[in-house]
Structure 1
Amino acid sequence: MTSSHESSKRLLFPLVNALVFMMLFGVIGYYLLDLTRWLLAGMVTGLGIGLVVEFGLGLIGGWIYRRRVLLSALLEVVLVIAFVGPFAYFYMNTTPKQHTVCCIEGSGLGDAVEAVRIPVANGETLAGWYAPPVDGSGAVVMVLHGNGGDRTGSLAHARVLHEEGFGVLVYDQRASGESTGHQRSIGLYDQRDITPIIDWLAARPEVDEQRIGGVGLSLGAHILLGAAPDELRLKALWADGLGVNNGDDLPPSDSPSDVLINFISRQAYWMAEAYLDEQLIPCKQLIPQVAPRPLMLVAGGQDPFEGEFNRAYEPYLGEHGELWIIDNAGHTAGLRTEPELYPARMIDFFDKALRQ
């Protein structure tokens, strides 16, 4: 009787630990819209660690067993920082975000705009809207949206360009909006799509293959930058909101909080590379390979990290690159905060690169 009662008492810690992990993993599941699965994962993980600690350390006994709660808490903190948090960070950015996108009539891209579906790498198809150039130059600019968005997030920039006569293409990245794909890839798989997209544009009679450029917003900037070294037909690149591609792009750690953030980030990049089976190339390595084509880096000065990241890239730009930090703008918010200067600089940039 006593032995049975003692065994029941020893189950208390594993059960409490399972509850703690269910709450922890439940937060992750809530944001990933997959609550049930993450609750179950938390329960199994917490219960497993609790049983190992309670009965494994119970065999040792003594001081170690009496400090089992403290030891397990330390173990779980390390587990969360080194694995759970980084995994949730990149996994959240690889789940599909497919949905209906509305509506072409409100795109503001003119009467000639058309809905298109472009076949790209790995048998996927990208859904988008294409408006041909109206100035006779044959110049077209692709405008790529940010992470988790769709083509509507590109429209403000596309309208500015189209109003000045450029052809524009906005599209949903793979596994986003109405495009096919079973997972997003933090831009890695999307880089392969730029060449088939340019092939599709070049086949249009009104498009000059030598006058194709790109605007990338946030993740879109990473996609274009990753594709540019091999796709030489991408003649000019406007990269707004570029962050870091991997641990080599991270700034030095000047404080304990920086050390923690950089460690979690490096873990996330490492897990992402293993999960996606692709290598993340540092922006510092990619930027010099855009030359001699023009490259504009635009950063929001109000973002706590964006200005620092992009200032670190400035030495790699060379004579054909330029950095513009918009002090009063947040992430990719320059067009909104500088409604006159931003369009003027962007139009001038593509005028010189594609129409002269």
Structure 2
Amino acid sequence: MAIDPNSSLYQLTGGLRPGRGNAIPPARDVAALPVFNISFYNQRGNLISGWLALSAPHAPVVILTHGTPGNRIDMVSRAAFLFDHGYNVLLFDFQSYGESQGAFSTLGMVESEDIIASITYLRSLPDTDDSKIGVLGLSMGATAAVLAASRTSDILALVAESCPVDATRVPGDVPNDQVRTADKELVEDVYDVDITQARPIDVVNRLAGRTAVFFINGDNDSETPLAGMYQLYKTAGKPKQYWVVPGAGHAQSFAMSPDDYVSRIDAFFDTYLKNVA
């Protein structure tokens, strides 16, 4: 569907076109961990680009999913400490971000399909075909991860950092109802999905008993306020836990408290990915 860039619909939906994020360097130039290039197709036929780093064959895999705006570069530092702790890690650009194909963001809806496609890809590789899988999702990446985990039992552990209750109510992405209505129209026309269903609060209870979930939020987050994290935690079933990071703004928990962040994330994934039969 071609959209007139001078139309009101195009102008109102600018939040769905935040740009592709920082330039992706060659894999050989990533000093933090030994990644190599990978790609796979999502169910819509878009080629999704990413990196994989293998710590050990058949070790658990953590998939890291970025927010908006952004791409896989934003998740490298998190991937590095997980790799150093013995995890295989997969980072990729959601459709329409970084080097991946796609028209524009859907705030987690189609992006959740990308996560499921990445799991299918991992299952096709001899070194990860039987690996236990976790996801660390940041902001929109957390929305997509919760939506994906509600539709597959392959995700055994999920870190949802700065996760919105409703992705179409995050003011930095969707500032008002007029924009929300325009976003809904555009996404339905192009992707045939209802963007107003990007609501982790409606599906997080489906993870109960099969996916352990760890909610992380700063107490100074104006995009995904702390009250929303408490609402998600209350709605989710067990196993579940949460951590409030004092002073942290949106998606800033790692930067605000790096040592505590690393130890808590490592311990969570160890419990639900490494230390299980």
Conserved? CA contact 1:133–1:206, under 8 Å: no
Conserved? CA contact 1:240–1:332, under 8 Å: yes
Which of structure 1's runs of 4+ aligned residues deviate more than 4 A? 86-89
CA drift of 1:117 comes to 1.3
Conserved? CA contact 2:5–2:11, under 8 Å: no
Q: Select which of 144, 160, 165 maps to 1:223.
A: 144
Indicate yes or no: 2:115 matched with 1:115: no
Identity of aligned residues (%): 22
The one-character-per-residue Cα deviations of 1:243-293 (angstroms, maximum 9, x if unpaired) are 23267x89xxxxxxx9xx9x9644433432222122233322111111121
CA drift of 1:150 comes to 1.2
Residue of structure 2 equivalent to 1:290: 207
Residue of structure 2 equivalent to 1:140: 61
Q: Select which of 239, 258, 264 maps to 2:160.
A: 239
Change (3 A) 1:181 1:339: same
Indicate yes or no: 2:240 matched with 1:321: yes
Conserved? CA contact 1:214–1:224, under 8 Å: yes
Residue of structure 2 equivalent to 1:94: 16
Residue of structure 2 equivalent to 1:332: 251
**Number of residues of Structure 1 aligned to a counterpart in Structure 2:** 262
Change (3 A) 1:87 1:98: closer
CA distance in 2, matches of 1:283, 1:110: 31
Change (3 A) 1:246 1:97: closer
Residue of structure 2 equivalent to 1:177: 98
Give the SS at the match of 1:176. coil
Conserved? CA contact 1:225–1:286, under 8 Å: yes
Conserved? CA contact 2:16–2:183, under 8 Å: no
CA drift of 1:110 comes to 3.4
CA distance in 2, matches of 1:163, 1:246: 32
CA distance in 2, matches of 1:183, 1:269: 15
CA drift of 1:137 comes to 5.0
Residue of structure 2 equivalent to 1:268: 179
Residue of structure 2 equivalent to 1:301: 219
Change (3 A) 1:187 1:284: closer
CA distance in 2, matches of 1:340, 1:264: 34
Q: Which structure dedicates a bigger proportion of its chain to helix?
A: 1
Conserved? CA contact 1:296–1:323, under 8 Å: yes
Conserved? CA contact 2:65–2:141, under 8 Å: yes
> What is the aligned-residue RMSD (CA, Å)?
2.7
Conserved? CA contact 2:59–2:88, under 8 Å: yes
Give the SS at the match of 1:182. coil
Letter in structure 2 aligned against 1:170: L
The one-character-per-residue Cα deviations of 1:286-342 (angstroms, maximum 9, x if unpaired) are 111111210011111111352122122221123311221112211111111112111
Give the SS at the match of 1:189. helix
Q: Which has the larger radius of gyration?
A: 1
Letter in structure 2 aligned against 1:104: A
The one-character-per-residue Cα deviations of 1:58-85 (angstroms, maximum 9, x if unpaired) are xxxxxxxxxxxxxxxxxxxxxxxxxx7x
Letter in structure 2 aligned against 1:116: I
Change (3 A) 1:114 1:307: same
Residue of structure 2 equivalent to 1:77: none
Mark the runs of 5 or more structure 1 residues left unpaired by the alignment.
Answer: 1-35, 42-83, 251-257
Change (3 A) 1:264 1:172: closer
Letter in structure 2 aligned against 1:268: V
CA distance in 1, matches of 2:49, 2:204: 28
Residue of structure 2 equivalent to 1:346: 265
The one-character-per-residue Cα deviations of 1:202-224 (angstroms, maximum 9, x if unpaired) are 12222153501100011100111
Q: Select which of 113, 135, 150 maps to 2:71.
A: 150
Give the SS at the match of 2:215. strand
Residue of structure 2 equivalent to 1:71: none
Residue of structure 2 equivalent to 1:127: 49
Which has the higher relative contact order, 1 or 2, with Cα contacts under 8 A spaced 6 or more apart?
Answer: 2
Residue of structure 2 equivalent to 1:161: 82
Change (3 A) 1:145 1:314: same
Q: TM-score, normalised to structure 1's length?
A: 0.67
Letter in structure 1 aligned against 2:25: C
The one-character-per-residue Cα deviations of 1:138-178 (angstroms, maximum 9, x if unpaired) are 20000011112111001111011001010001111111111
Letter in structure 1 aligned against 2:241: E
Letter in structure 2 aligned against 1:163: D
Conserved? CA contact 1:129–1:170, under 8 Å: yes
